[in-house]
Chain A
């Protein structure tokens, strides 16, 4: 797992738009896929989607720069625009930031278009805070979603401690919070030691991935999922709606007996 400044920026920007009538910026001629429904990153509302295109990153960045500048919004660009880059426009009357985060991946340009509310801040209440955190992180970021299929929260932390020490701290905290350990697996990813811990508590499921970045530096990625079904799966109504939508688009066909 590689932590780059761009990744951190994406995480910081990652998340539900502030105002229902505010739309995401769109790159013409591409399909945009929404990421989550209601995203709350570090207490700030976000709306996000991604697209891919064979156009060079510079061309995509120029499109957004020109598009926003012509409309009269102040635009800021950062990055080398060969490997990564970010273009942002500031809607000062509405307190919104529209941005596109660009990155090259497998010969294509991947763009994340983001709408961020700069005025609203929602401090998570004690009851909403589901994450089991490690003490004293160097960096910490929270993302949460809420839709008809249930809710999810994702936290990322970077801690300056050894892998085993971090694991022990997390296991103790999960046990104290009433979670039950379901599975634990380890391995190596890109030459880095990894550890995956899975815990459940009623309808809640938590998957924690630890990646050893250095001898005493560990990245902790934690995903919490909660639904209204005890098995942690999306409810039947949500499944039916998703299936019907897929059939309408012709993505799947109903099996005949």
Chain B
């Protein structure tokens, strides 16, 4: 498999550093609970509606200790164009430490594929390049549940916590608690609906009203089984190394900034 394609996919899905995360990935990792308490078999499918419709499925399909002897679970993450997920366009199988939740520092093994390629494991030495280095002193997830009704999240923005209410979703009506990221006290940037009834992420819905984008739970259950076919232990792994290791003639040439860039807004 083309490692570059894989790297781009992972980056697109949000495992890249926060500054580079696209919308779906940021929302997913922001919304992930700080601890992975899900039991084996729990699964959830989300429908994403915006410029294009897409679907995402998460499932816990096994558990074991990771190399640091932490309790960990095997999580399948799939993206596709159809909720049945018979033919996902991207597949990820991750060993995630329970104590960290679905975050880069908790992922000790990663298998991935895109399109019709076979699942391939990312070599341990290449994992940091795929997942991005953990940033020391990085802030907590952007949208932790505030303990009070409103907490300041920046100069002009705040997170408001609403009262639990019944929320109609594609998977049925659930009791959910809204968390709104509000700019200048009147513009809702994004709204999370957190529900204990939804497995894994405890997330019922995310809304970005300004761009009419939603990610909403579509189905969930507790009977997930491993779907991905794990390659043989001796199968070739995906390897990566930093460009700085390349010989001098292969080093990327840094182009001086042009005047036109300065004119950009």
Contacts and interface: CB of A to CB of B under 8 A. Distances in A.
Interface string B85-121: 1111101000000000000000000000101111000
A72 B84 contact: yes
B81 interface: yes
A92 B115 contact: yes
Contact of A93 (B81, B83, B86): B86
Q: How large is the interface on A (under 10, 10 to 19, 20 to 34, 35 or more residues)?
A: 10 to 19
Contacts of B81: 72, 74
A119 B117 CA distance: 7
Interface in A3-62: none
A92 B87 contact: yes
Interface in A81-125: 89-93, 95-97, 118-119
Given A72-B80, A74-B81, A97 B116 contact: yes
B65 interface: no
Given A72-B80, A74-B81, A90 B87 contact: yes
Contacts, number: 44
A71 interface: yes
B165 to A, nearest CB: 33
Contacts of B83: 72
Contacts of A118: 116
Contacts of A73: 82, 86-87
Contacts of B115: 90, 92
Contacts of B264: none
Nearest to B113: A92
B82 A72 contact: yes
Contact of A90 (B85, B116, B118): B116
Q: Give the interface centre of A74, A91, A93 by most chain B CB atoms within 10 Å.
A: A93
B87 A95 contact: no
A95 B84 contact: no
A221 to B, nearest CB: 30
Nearest to A96: B116
A228 to B, nearest CB: 36
B227 interface: yes
B118 A119 contact: yes
Contacts of B117: 95
Contacts of B82: 71-73
Contact of B86 (A71, A97, A119): A71
A74 B227 contact: no
B80 A93 contact: no
A168 to B, nearest CB: 43
A74 B89 contact: yes
Interface in A207-227: none
Contacts of A119: 118
Interface in B118-135: 118
Q: Give the interface centre of B86, B87, B117 by most chain A CB atoms within 10 Å.
A: B87
A171 B8 CA distance: 52
Contacts of B88: 92-93
A96 B86 CA distance: 12
B211 to A, nearest CB: 26
Nearest to A73: B87
B231 to A, nearest CB: 11
A89 B87 CA distance: 10
Contacts of B118: 95, 119
Q: Give the interface centre of A74, A92, A119 by most chain B CB atoms within 10 Å.
A: A92
Contacts of B80: 72
Contacts of A95: 116-118
Contacts of A92: 87-89, 91, 113, 115-116
Nearest to B82: A72
Interface string A70-82: 0111100000000
Q: Give the interface centre of B83, B86, B91 by most chain A CB atoms within 10 Å.
A: B86
B15 to A, nearest CB: 20
A92 B79 CA distance: 12
Contacts of B229: 93
B86 to A, nearest CB: 4
A81 B49 CA distance: 32
Nearest to B90: A92
A119 B229 CA distance: 12
A62 B227 CA distance: 30
A71 B86 CA distance: 8
Give the 5 A-B CB pairs with smallest separation, nearest first: A72-B82, A72-B84, A72-B86, A92-B87, A73-B87
8 contacts: A72-B80, A72-B83, A73-B82, A74-B81, A92-B89, A92-B115, A95-B116, A95-B118
Given A72-B80, A73-B87, A92-B113, 17 more contacts: A72-B81, A72-B82, A72-B84, A73-B86, A90-B87, A91-B87, A91-B116, A92-B115, A92-B116, A93-B87, A93-B227, A93-B229, A95-B116, A95-B118, A96-B116, A97-B116, A118-B116
